[in-house]
Structure formats: C-alpha cells, structure tokens
Chains A and B, each alone.
Chain A
Amino acid sequence: DTVLTQSPALAVSPGERVTISCRASESVSTLMHWYQQKPGQQPTLLIYLASNLESGVPARFSGSGSGTDFTLTIDPVEADDTATYYCQQSWNDPWTFGGGTKLELK
C-alpha cells in the first residue's frame, strides 16, 4: 500500500502562514487530495488533484506538489482553522490517507 507521511502536529499564531507536508512512499502523480476535520465533525474536502480548490473553500487554502511530495498551505491562518488535516491519494490501490496533521493555534 502507498504510505503517506505527515508531521503529527503544528502550532502557529493567527495571521501566520503555515505549510503542511505530505510525502508518499511512491509516486501518486497529482492524485493527491486534502481534507479538514474539525473536532467531533466529519472530514470536508479542501483541495483535490493536488492544487484545485474545492468550491466554497476560502482562498487562504492552497495546494501544490506532484509525484511524492505535496504541500497544503494556509495563508493567513485564522482561529477557525484549528483542525486535523489529512492528505489522501487515489493513484494507487487501495486509496490511502496520511496519519493527519493536527493544527493548533497559539
């Protein structure tokens, strides 16, 4: 299975820029997607196909990358962005998720 590795946690101050990384154990082309999960809620789609912003998602969120290295950027971070962020690949079967990065606001 394709393993997606994310840093477990980050802490940033409101107004700062934060980058969340996701590294794949093998190439996933650009079939990488990002989700936000707030405490007690279901995940919601932020970015699909590495860099496409889902409708209704603030333009503060952006994605980049291809192959094995991907990044989700939030600029500027707001208090409401406190959540866990997951990357997910759909290039190789089975589809797999990263372990999640918990974003905390200082």
Chain B
Amino acid sequence: EVQLVESGGGLVQPGRSLKLSCAASGFTFSDYNMAWVRQAPKKGLEWVATIIYDGSRTYYRDSVKGRFTISRDNAKSTLYLQMDSLRSEDTATYYCAILRGWFAYWGQGTLVTVSS
C-alpha cells in the first residue's frame, strides 16, 4: 500500500525556518518525481516545488524561489522541504505528492503556521 507521511509542521515566527519531511513507503521511491503542494486555510491548492526522481533537477514557484529548497534521500525514501525566511502568506497545509505527469497520490499533509 502506498503511503506518504508528512511531518515537521508547526507554529513558527516570521523570518524563521522549518524543515518538512515526507516518508514514503509501498512503492519504489527512487523511480518517481515528487512534489510539494500547499493549501492555505479555507483556500485552494497551490503547487510549491518539484524534484526529479534522482534529485538532479528542481523547480519552484516564483513566490518561494530562493527561500524554499526541495530535496530527497532515495536511500531513506524521504522527501524534504527546507523553508527559510518564512512569511505569514506561507501559512498552509503542505502535502507531498507522487508525480506521474499529474499529482497521482497525496499524503495527509502537515500544517505550517507562520505567526508572531
């Protein structure tokens, strides 16, 4: 059974950092491109970042470029999102997702709240 389990969310002050993790199981993690998608409270979905299966390339939405870093450890079947210089507008539930040209499978999400 495919499982994606996010962790690392919480309350953080503006300007501080947080690192999210997504533990994958039930499939060959190293075969798939992966992504982070976020959803602000009571709002819609927004793609954040993508990483290629071998970690060789990464892509970001403009609003997080230079502040967020997506990475992966294929030996540990784990996806990461390092979030620096956090802003109030980054408050959201962050989902990791398996990519097949679309978001094929989603984790349950982890809530990040940026507030003083």
Which A residues lie at the B interface, using CB under 8 A? 31, 33, 35, 41-45, 48-49, 54, 86, 88, 90, 93-100
Contacts and interface: CB of A to CB of B under 8 A. Distances in A.
24 contacts: A35-B45, A35-B103, A42-B107, A43-B45, A43-B95, A43-B103, A44-B106, A45-B102, A48-B102, A48-B104, A49-B101, A54-B104, A86-B45, A88-B45, A90-B101, A90-B102, A94-B59, A94-B61, A95-B47, A97-B44, A97-B45, A98-B44, A100-B44, A100-B45
Contacts of A93: 59
Given A42-B95, A42-B108, A33 B102 contact: yes
Give the size range of B's interface with the partner: 10 to 19
A45 to B, nearest CB: 6
A94 B47 contact: yes
Q: Is the interface of A mostly helix, strand, loop or mixed?
A: loop
Contacts of A94: 47, 59, 61-62
Interface of B: 44-47, 59, 61-62, 95, 100-109
Given A42-B95, A45-B102, A90-B102, 12 more contacts: A42-B108, A43-B45, A43-B103, A44-B106, A45-B103, A86-B44, A88-B103, A93-B59, A94-B61, A97-B44, A97-B46, A100-B44
Q: Specify which of B45, B101, B102, B103 lies most central, judged by the most chain A CB atoms within 10 Å of its CB.
A: B102
Contacts of B107: 42
A86 B59 CA distance: 22
Contact of A48 (B44, B59, B61, B101): B101
